Amino acid sequence: MVSDECRRLNREEPTLIVVTKNHPVDLASQLYELGVREFGENRVQEALPKSESFEALHPGSDVRWNLIGQLQTNKVKQALQFASSIHSLDRDSLLSELIKRTADLEVPLEVFIQVNLTEDPERGGVEPDQLLAFADKVAACRTLNLAGLMAVAGLDVEPAKDFERVAALSEKLVLQHPLASGRSIGMSGDYVEALSFGATHLRIGTAITGNRTN
């Protein structure tokens, strides 16, 4: 599906992150056997034990766990035990905690700044007009590698409208930080629109894994 769409748009394929939240480690293990190497999880409490069980099944594997949900500062230490990438960097307090906890890292941690596209501050994400100032602070940190932006399209708007805003913000961001060109946008319901607005990372759950709540 993604490949067809990329061919149609004559663009490169994005990184496909398969979101395994609410699914047991066995599913991640089966996906791994099928070649999946990027997993997405939204809660540290669930992801840390799952990643540990996964490691026991596939020792030393090359999978990357992407933390895509809101991260509480008191969970940063645990998050760093498994996450190769954090897509939800969205506020100063979290940035401070990450700086503190990554001080000894030799390879910088990949982070995406989450942008809030809604009017609701509870949804997480920096406000678009704060983005560039916040990005300067992130980029100044030696142990963090600013990869780009992450956003979730609002529920009551056309995803294309939201992704168009992300694309415009991303263009401004790369003027200041050329390497921060990532766009982590697009989920099961809106990946087609996301691809047409330059998604570099898709976070796909239910379209691949089906529904499950346990």
* Shortest spacing between CB 148 and ligand PLP, in angstroms: 15
* Shortest spacing between CB 198 and ligand PLP, in angstroms: 17
* Shortest spacing between CB 103 and ligand PLP, in angstroms: 27
H/E stretch holding 49 reads: helix 44-57
Q: Which is nearer to ligand PLP, 42 or 85 (CB)?
A: 42
What does the alpha-carbon distance between residue 97 and residue 104 come to, in Å, rounded to a whole number? 13
Q: CA angle 154-98-118, nearest 5°? A: 15
Helix and strand totals (H; E) in the chain: 9, 8
* Shortest spacing between CB 22 and ligand PLP, in angstroms: 8
What does the alpha-carbon distance between residue 154 and residue 190 come to, in Å, rounded to a whole number? 11
What does the alpha-carbon distance between residue 179 and residue 145 come to, in Å, rounded to a whole number? 9
43 is a site residue for ligand PLP (CB under 6 A): no
User: Which of 69, 125, 159, 198 touches ligand PLP (CB under 6 A)?
Assistant: 69
Q: Which is nearer to ligand PLP, 83 or 141 (CB)?
A: 83
* Shortest spacing between CB 24 and ligand PLP, in angstroms: 16
H/E stretch holding 142 reads: none
Residue numbers 177-206 binding ligand PLP by CB under 6 A: 187-189, 203-206
User: Which of 68, 98, 153, 180 touches ligand PLP (CB under 6 A)?
Assistant: 68
| Helix, strand, coil abundance in the chain, percent, nearest 5 | 45, 20, 35
152 is a site residue for ligand PLP (CB under 6 A): yes
* Shortest spacing between CB 2 and ligand PLP, in angstroms: 12
Amino acid identity of 15?
T
Residue numbers 6-35 binding ligand PLP by CB under 6 A: 19, 21
What does the alpha-carbon distance between residue 214 and residue 202 come to, in Å, rounded to a whole number? 24
Interface residue list for ligand PLP (CB under 6 A): 19, 21, 42, 68-69, 152, 187-189, 203-207
